[in-house]
Chain A
Amino acid sequence: MWLFNSSVGKKVVMSVTGLALILFLTFHMTMNCVALFSAEGYEWICNFLGANWYAMVATIGLAILMVIHIVYAFWLTWTNRKARGAERYAVTARPKGVEFASRNMLVLGIIVFVGLFVHLFHFWSKMQLVELQGGEPAAGVELIRYTFSKWYNVLLYLIWFLALWFHLTHGFWSALQTIGFNNKKWYVRLKWISYIFVTLIMGGFATVLILFFCAEGLNWAIFPGLFQGLVG
């Protein structure tokens, strides 16, 4: 089967799982932004995506995507290192046009993975997991307020977002190149789309985080009408 035993096939799996994960992040970011404007709205989303069958199917699907992406990441990185050979160059130079992210996808991915566990511990384990065990899930907005009132959590998440930003600014156009959607004209466009789209997603996540932190610290009640979700 070509998805297992050809180099391009393996990359297609990386690409398609990666794109699906990006799609998920896009939805996730959009939902987070709701918390800025309306606590009730966010609660409604939390209830809607509680421990019912469709949320469970989506969660399991997401976990499978993640596992496939990671397994292939290690597999590809390992075979690529083997292809490079045992002897390394004594002098290396980074040629023009080769970006940092493209050379460090595995390292960035591992940071993303570690961050993911911290995140699951902070939120998933107190919401969906509790509900699955028959308990009462924590209120989403309360949990956000609590978690991001701690400066170290904010810092940790920002580092996590930065790693994802690097992973995805390369990953997004790279995934399209891998499935063959690129040419000389589109290359420049795809690079721009990658940077703008990924900056919007990661910027969205970061904005929610920072606003909640500031609201807690400075008691941000200056725009109480606008950012209802922020203040208790």
Chain B
Amino acid sequence: MDKNISFTLKVWRQRGPKEKGEFKSYYMEDIPGDTSFLEMLDILNEMLINRGEEPIVFDHDCREGICGMCSLYINGHPHGPATGATTCQIYMRRFHDGDIITVEPWRSAGFPVIRDLMVDRRAFDKIMAAGGYVSVNTGGVPDANAIPIPKEKADEAMDAAACIGCGACVAACKNGSAMLFVSAKVSQLALLPQGKVEAKRRVKAMLAKMDELGFGACTNTRACEAECPKCVSISNIARLNRQFIGAKFKD
């Protein structure tokens, strides 16, 4: 059994996209160490509702690290202090008795705050809609081994496909750049024969969308890679650059 801890939560409260937000402090008493971070927020919200106050709005869904809905910038780190884990996967045992834990929303021009800790990440959907797919004529189901794919290629494509689209890379980036996300989505297809066919069109369309939506340019600080809960590598960004430059030279 983990110890129980008591701590102060400093949470960003903002009623709407246009309204001014501020930090509010909440004292949390005797929280067991094996409470997940989101459960802890549930406990707080329960308290707030019982007191007749507005509960804190935050995004979440699967609570097992696969959907990419949870966010939260905790003590200066997107998805909190752990590496390779989402906010829903961290537990209160990571914190200490008497800590002040600051919880902020993702802050980036591309991700405006909707309310409290919830931000609008539809920009990522728009980037995906611009080209993050393969257009196939669906016929009969082909044999799984009809197209041979080298193991290393398959592995790299899988590593890129691990991206859950959470947006922590944008939240961590001093330039508000979405390059890690876009590069993962470009790479997961470009590495495979099925995706190669449309690679040029895809990379141009997705990058143009990213720029249009106001995300910044990558200066290779590597904050994204360090904070990504799925450890997506910046080698994907090099691939994106390579493909984009190649496509432009072909034009």
Contact = CB atoms under 8 A, between A and B. Distances in A.
Interface of A: 2, 5-12, 76, 79-93, 95-99, 102-103, 105, 170, 173-174, 177-184, 187
A48 to B, nearest CB: 37
Contacts of B104: 89-91
B238 interface: yes
A97 B23 contact: no
Interface of B: 10, 21, 23, 73, 75-77, 83, 102, 104, 107-110, 113, 172-177, 179, 207-208, 210-211, 214-223, 225-227, 233-235, 237-246, 248
B73 A181 contact: no
A7 B177 contact: yes
Task: Tell me which of B218, B221, B244, B246 has the highest count of chain A C-beta atoms within 10 A of its own C-beta.
Answer: B221
B221 A76 contact: no
18 contacts: A7-B215, A8-B244, A10-B217, A11-B218, A80-B176, A80-B219, A89-B76, A95-B172, A96-B226, A99-B222, A102-B219, A174-B220, A179-B242, A180-B245, A181-B238, A181-B242, A183-B238, A184-B233
A98 B109 contact: no
B226 A8 contact: no
A178 B221 contact: no
Given A79-B217, A90-B23, A98-B223, 12 more contacts: A7-B177, A7-B218, A8-B241, A12-B245, A84-B107, A85-B109, A90-B10, A92-B76, A93-B76, A102-B219, A180-B242, A183-B238
A130 B143 CA distance: 77
Interface of B is mostly: mixed
A222 to B, nearest CB: 46
A95 B238 contact: no
A174 B172 contact: no
A156 B31 CA distance: 56
A7 B174 contact: no
B77 A88 contact: no
Contact of B177 (A2, A6, A83): A83
Given A11-B218, A91-B102, A180 B176 contact: no
Given A6-B208, A85-B108, A89-B104, A79 B216 contact: yes
A86 B248 CA distance: 33
